[in-house]
Amino acid sequence: MQKVKGTALVWFRNDLRISDHYGLFHASKSYEKIIAYYSFDPKQFSITSWGFKKTESFRAQFLIETVQQLQLDLAAKNISLIIEHNDPLERIPHWIESEKIEVLYFQKEWTKEERETEERLRSNLPNSVEIHAAYDQFLFHPEDVPMSLDQLPEVFTNFRKQCEKNIAVRACYPEVERQETSNALQETFACPSLSDLGLNEISSHPNSAFPFKGGSKAAKERIAHYFWGSKKLSYYKNTRNGLLGLDYSSKLSAWLGNGSLSAREIYWEVRKYESEIKKNQSTYWLIFELIWRDYFKFISLKHQDAIFHLGGILNKRYEWENSPEVFQNWVQGKTKEPFVNANMLELKKTGWMSNRGRQNVASFFAKEIYMDWRMGAAYFESQLIDYDVHSNYGNWMYVAGVGNDPRDRKFNIRSQAERYDTNGTFQQLWNQQNLFE
């Protein structure tokens, strides 16, 4: 196909990779010159209505590392990445004008803040700019799902069975080729530091279950280890509820969260593993978890801003508390439950918490101390390295009884601790941290 003698701008959002990337692939096929753009939007590092930063140091550091890797990956393809710490609503129109950009590509988002940003950006751009926004973060593409959004089941199992029966996962987009013409801009760009973002510097904790760096290179190294090196994928279903160590779960959620790895890439790597090494319940279960991730995305697509409302998607009315003292005791690991405390201290010290831990601390927060679940969800957003808006708020609604749990379950914290931390090793490891503060 003949390329247009023009310039395309690819605006990176939560899709920080060059492989399996809709915008890069189509821009490279159609335009002679590509420029990439990413902004550390100041709004993402502001103080929330709950009184803490929207994004804290652990998640921000992982993001910085991811963007630094993206810059290297793009440079290898002869594509400049503009990196700024400004409002993209102001800066994207500036670059479109100064670089005479004719077309803008970006990943389509639908949650409130991202949607409003897109709507305002569109109104700030001249009509001559062609815009291509595409859904590019699903395992099952929305166009392929065998039901309308109105018909989307409110129970996960029904959704999973219909999708598994009727949908083929699409192939990954080929990695963008090296561009022939020089795309380099005169300016050089660097990522802001944590202090530039108004955050405290951090160091890796020796007991962290997630000591990994951000970026597509680290993501692929993790797959190489977990799938092909250790072959721990073959045991995933049996170990995924673990609490200690690097390999009790795949840990791929962090790279999925900011899009330095796509769900399709993981899916097809699992299929390759199944054909070359072994296919069993564990290999299926990793795909099962990818489908859960998709489900929460479709739920938020269906219900839109209701996922952020106190009554959730069920619009249920409960009496909720919002005591700052009770909230801080939960955050600081000073509740009556040692298992909750250990998990909250792990999150505070490392930016990571196991899936088992998340379910328990959220259940305690919403169903034992009856705190406004949105406070807990916002704190997770601030702290978790692997934060994903749809999974985070979907899971919090689910546990709080205002989402997609048809049984409205409540965790027995003591029983959970006995089952998953039988010897108390995890609790001892983290609760002793409080002794030194």
Question: What is the identity of the amino acid at 38?
Answer: Y
Confidence of residue 408 (pLDDT cuts 50, 70, 90): confident
For residue 213, pLDDT over 80 is answered with: yes
Say which residue, 185 or 137, is predicted with more confidence: 137
Q: What pLDDT score was predicted for residue 405?
A: 85
CATH topology of domain 216-304: 1.25.40
Given the candidates 3.30.1330.20, 3.40.50.620, 3.30.310.220, 3.40.50.1970, the CATH classification of the domain at 4-136 is 3.40.50.620
Angle (CA) 355-361-362 rounded to 5° is: 90
Confidence of residue 409 (pLDDT cuts 50, 70, 90): confident
- pTM of structure: 0.96
Mean per-residue pLDDT over the chain, rounded: 95
Q: What is the pLDDT of residues 158-171, one digit of tens each?
A: 999 999 999 999 99
Structure tokens at 14: 């939560």
Q: What pLDDT score was predicted for residue 432?
A: 83
Look-up of token digits 């977990």: 226
For residue 36, pLDDT over 90 is answered with: yes
Q: What pLDDT score was predicted for residue 214?
A: 98
For residue 296, pLDDT over 70 is answered with: yes
For residue 1, pLDDT over 80 is answered with: no
Percent of the chain with pLDDT strictly greater than 90: 93
Sign of CA dihedral 225, 230, 236, 238: negative
Q: What pLDDT score was predicted for residue 117?
A: 93
For residue 182, pLDDT over 80 is answered with: no
In sequence order, the 6+-apart residues with CB closer than 8 A to the CB of 267 are: 139, 169, 287, 290
For residue 230, pLDDT over 90 is answered with: yes
What value does the mean pLDDT take over residues 52-58?
A: 98
Rounded to whole angstroms, the Cα distance separating 146 from 80 reads 40
Rounded to whole angstroms, the Cα distance separating 265 from 173 reads 10
What value does the mean pLDDT take over residues 274-288?
A: 98
What value does the mean pLDDT take over residues 284-295?
A: 98
Domain residue ranges in the chain? 4-136, 216-304, 309-432
Q: What pLDDT score was predicted for residue 433?
A: 64
Q: What pLDDT score was predicted for residue 406?
A: 79
Given the candidates 3.10.20.30, 1.25.40.420, 3.40.120.10, 1.10.579.10, the CATH classification of the domain at 309-432 is 1.10.579.10
Percent of the chain with pLDDT strictly greater than 70: 97
What value does the mean pLDDT take over residues 124-142?
A: 95
Rounded to whole angstroms, the Cα distance separating 147 from 193 reads 45
Q: What pLDDT score was predicted for residue 2?
A: 66
Say which residue, 417 or 432, is predicted with more confidence: 417
Q: What pLDDT score was predicted for residue 376?
A: 98
CA distances from 140 to 137, 159, 347 (A): 9, 11, 31
Q: What pLDDT score was predicted for residue 341?
A: 98
What is the separation, in whole angstroms, between the first and last Cα of the chain? Answer: 64
